């Protein structure tokens, strides 16, 4: 029960009051970011900035910045109990000023920390926070936001373009690294994404981070869009612009760990504040980072409110939660003796499990139509199951099992694929155990793993034909879709954050042709309900022939809910032409050829083919009816019936 405020001084709306302490201490202050950090306010008729920071074990805290010449003695902060939230009002402070917190530790040291709740930061290599005002951002995306409330990802197309902003495209020859600003990027990416046919853009590394090479996965400013590309207002403009063009925005979000940089969250008040105190739980030995202490309500609240901040304040449509497995397993990346079992003797992190259930219930409960996406690489059960049914409550899960089997199969010389046929069919054994996204992400095209094109066997044109067949199989397989930037036009080199994509490749015919192919696959996907509205239902998929092992051909159908518009996929994964190929069909309905990889615009022979095929009563593939179709080497044909 919350006691009435016993102080004589009335708490102003912007101030941290008793109720704020109570809710934050319970882990339920979902809009704590509106109170913590630095906010422009008017006090006693004077305009200034109200600062608030949680530093429970600090002896003293002061705010230092450009407004007081970084003098530690000028603006001492007052400690609030029982949580140790320090506050002060500084009339000299104003929007644009840089600042930090000077924290006196119990060991008698002084440490200088950036604001965990800052909404803007100094451009790296600077490490200070910057005062800003994001209370009145300009939004004109009400049509999108209203429609989002009724949007059901299970029955809608989701094809995601995963993008690293700093290396998607750059201005050539500029001394400032040539980064596109959020506003420039918004207009360029919108034009490209609309032409290609993606439904969503997923952005890597948006929260402020000090090191470019971390790609944004080692965050120091969870509440600040990185200053590399502009201001918070510029970031809001980008989201708004994409929404007005009917493109969804997903952000990568990193609640698993944070770096040890001196100005960041590590040992924030001189003690393990945000992290577990025992390094066997509080550090990732492989990554050299700290692990959030999900047992502390204030830490869980910091993260939960952060998720809501991006979704509610910045209108983001989904969060792709990074490294979920590392949070769920206490022994993740650790050897014997490097981890502590839970109270039942197991390796599950019970606090992280509770955190996910709370997080997903609140974010999705308050924001209908928003997606919470788990990058979870193990067989943990019910990741997308309801928390009421002991699930974690995520909307979607990356299908890492499919990705591994698929890429390993595609790397094989076609001669040996017959021995690995099951790698392309096994995913259907568990396809409905979770709500999945099929992913070919940035992780698959770095660290000597090769680009998607160079994973393919053979030389020259064979690589492109292999990749065309691979993309078609992916687009036809149940599950939402994600492809990392550059792979849609068969980037040759591995991705690097230090340079833009090799757009010059599009001057070469094979790269243009595979871009044409992927673009047409995306548009086929978007306009055919059979490819998305029964992704989580076995009624949406039937194998025609999954056992054509020695020819390495796969044929299957996708069904719409009403059964009126169905698609038949035939994919040949060897270079051998099959002029006598025959495929079975489920019903004696004429089949219209809607996508043919042998067209010249895709780099095919251009051989003319009939558009309509009438099945005959001739048994094939275990079906009563079938029709003949000359299938070229690495050929793909998609029919509508």
As annotated, the active-site residues are: 322, 375
Residue 81: which residues within 8 A CB-CB, separation 6 or more?
21
In angstroms, the CA 519 to CA 192 distance is 11
- Which letter does DSSP use for residue 310 in this model? I
Q: Which of 294, 250, 265 is nearest to 162 (CA)?
A: 250
Residues 202 and 252 sit within 8 Å (Cβ to Cβ): yes
In whole angstroms, what separates CA 609 from the centre of its chain? 41
Q: Which residues pair with 616 in a beta bridge?
A: 626
- Look at residue 268 and give its three-state secondary structure: coil
Give the residue ranges of DSSP H helices in 199-329: 232-244, 279-282, 297-308, 324-328
DSSP string, 538-558: GGGEEEEEEEETTTTEEEEEE
- Which letter does DSSP use for residue 480 in this model? E
Question: Alpha-carbon dihedral of residues 475, 514, 527, 194, nearest 10 degrees?
Answer: 120
In angstroms, the CA 361 to CA 203 distance is 23
Strands (E), 454-590: 480-484, 541-548, 553-558, 567-572, 582-585
- Look at residue 179 and give its three-state secondary structure: strand
Residue 419: which residues within 8 A CB-CB, separation 6 or more?
none
Residues 119 and 232 sit within 8 Å (Cβ to Cβ): yes
CA distances from 521 to 492, 526, 554 (A): 21, 9, 17
How many Cβ atoms sit within 10 Å of the Cβ of residue 382? 16
Residue 547 token pair: 């056992």
Question: Alpha-carbon dihedral of residues 207, 212, 218, 219, nearest 10 degrees?
Answer: -30
């Amino acid at each position: 029960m919350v006691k009435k405020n016993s102080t004589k001084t009335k708490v102003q709306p912007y101030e941290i009051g008793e109720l704020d302490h109570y809710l934050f201490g319970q882990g339920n202050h979902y809009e704590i970011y509106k109170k913590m950090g630095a906010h422009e306010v008017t006090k006693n008729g004077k305009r200034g900035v109200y600062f608030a920071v949680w530093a429970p074990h600090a002896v003293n805290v002061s705010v230092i910045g450009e407004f007081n010449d970084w003098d530690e003695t000028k603006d001492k902060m007052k400690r609030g109990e029982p949580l140790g939230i320090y506050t002060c009002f500084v009339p000299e402070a104003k929007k644009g000023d840089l600042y930090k917190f000077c924290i006196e530790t119990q060991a008698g040291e002084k440490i200088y920390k950036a604001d965990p709740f800052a909404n803007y930061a100094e451009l790296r290599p600077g490490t200070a926070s910057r005062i800003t005002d994001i209370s009145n951002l300009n939004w004109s995306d009400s049509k999108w936001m209203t429609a989002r409330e009724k949007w059901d990802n299970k029955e809608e197309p989701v094809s995601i373009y995963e993008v690293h902003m700093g290396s998607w495209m750059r201005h050539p020859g500029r001394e400032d690294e040539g980064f596109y600003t959020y506003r420039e990027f918004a207009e360029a990416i919108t034009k490209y994404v609309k032409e290609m046919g993606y439904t969503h853009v997923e952005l890597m590394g948006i929260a402020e981070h000090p090191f470019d090479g971390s790609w944004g996965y080692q965050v120091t400013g969870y509440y600040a869009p990185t200053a590399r590309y502009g201001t918070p207002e510029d970031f809001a403009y980008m989201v708004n612009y994409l929404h007005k063009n009917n493109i969804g925005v997903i952000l990568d979000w990193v609640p698993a760990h944070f770096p040890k940089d001196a100005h960041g969250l590590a040992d924030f008040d001189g003690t393990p504040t945000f992290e577990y105190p025992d390094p066997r739980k509080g550090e990732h030995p492989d990554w050299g980072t700290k692990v959030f202490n999900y047992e502390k309500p204030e830490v869980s609240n910091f993260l939960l409110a952060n998720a809501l901040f991006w979704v509610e304040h910045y209108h983001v449509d989904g969060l792709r939660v990074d490294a979920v497995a590392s949070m769920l397993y206490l022994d993740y990346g650790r050897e014997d003796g490097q981890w502590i079992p839970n109270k039942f003797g197991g390796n599950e992190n019970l606090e992280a499990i509770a955190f996910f259930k709370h997080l997903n219930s609140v974010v999705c409960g308050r924001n209908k139509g928003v997606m919470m996406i788990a990058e979870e690489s193990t067989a943990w059960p019910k990741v997308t199951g309801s928390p009421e049914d002991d699930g974690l409550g995520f909307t979607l899960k990356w299908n890492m099992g499919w990705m591994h089997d698929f890429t390993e199969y595609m790397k094989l010389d076609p001669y040996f694929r017959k021995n690995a046929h099951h790698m392309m069919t096994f995913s259907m054994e568990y396809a409905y155990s979770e709500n999945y996204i099929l992913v070919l992400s940035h992780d698959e095209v770095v660290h000597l793993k090769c680009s998607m094109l160079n994973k393919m066997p053979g030389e020259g044109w064979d690589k492109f034909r292999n990749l065309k067949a691979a993309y078609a199989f992916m687009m036809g397989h149940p599950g939402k879709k994600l492809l990392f930037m550059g792979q849609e036009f068969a980037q040759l080199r591995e991705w690097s954050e230090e340079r833009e994509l090799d757009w010059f490749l599009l001057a070469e015919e094979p790269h243009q042709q595979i871009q044409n192919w992927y673009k047409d696959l995306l548009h086929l996907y978007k306009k055919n309900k059979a490819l998305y509205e029964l992704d989580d239902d076995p009624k949406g998929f039937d194998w025609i022939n999954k056992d054509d092992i020695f020819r390495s051909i796969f044929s299957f159908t996708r069904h719409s809910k009403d059964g009126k518009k169905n698609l038949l996929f035939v994919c040949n994964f060897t270079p051998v032409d099959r002029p006598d190929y025959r495929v079975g069909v489920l019903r004696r309905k004429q089949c219209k050829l809607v996508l043919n990889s042998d067209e010249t615009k895709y780099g095919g022979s251009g051989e003319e083919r009939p558009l309509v095929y009438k099945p005959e009563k001739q048994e094939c593939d275990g079906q009563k009816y079938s029709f003949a179709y000359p299938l070229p080497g690495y050929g793909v044909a998609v029919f509508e019936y």
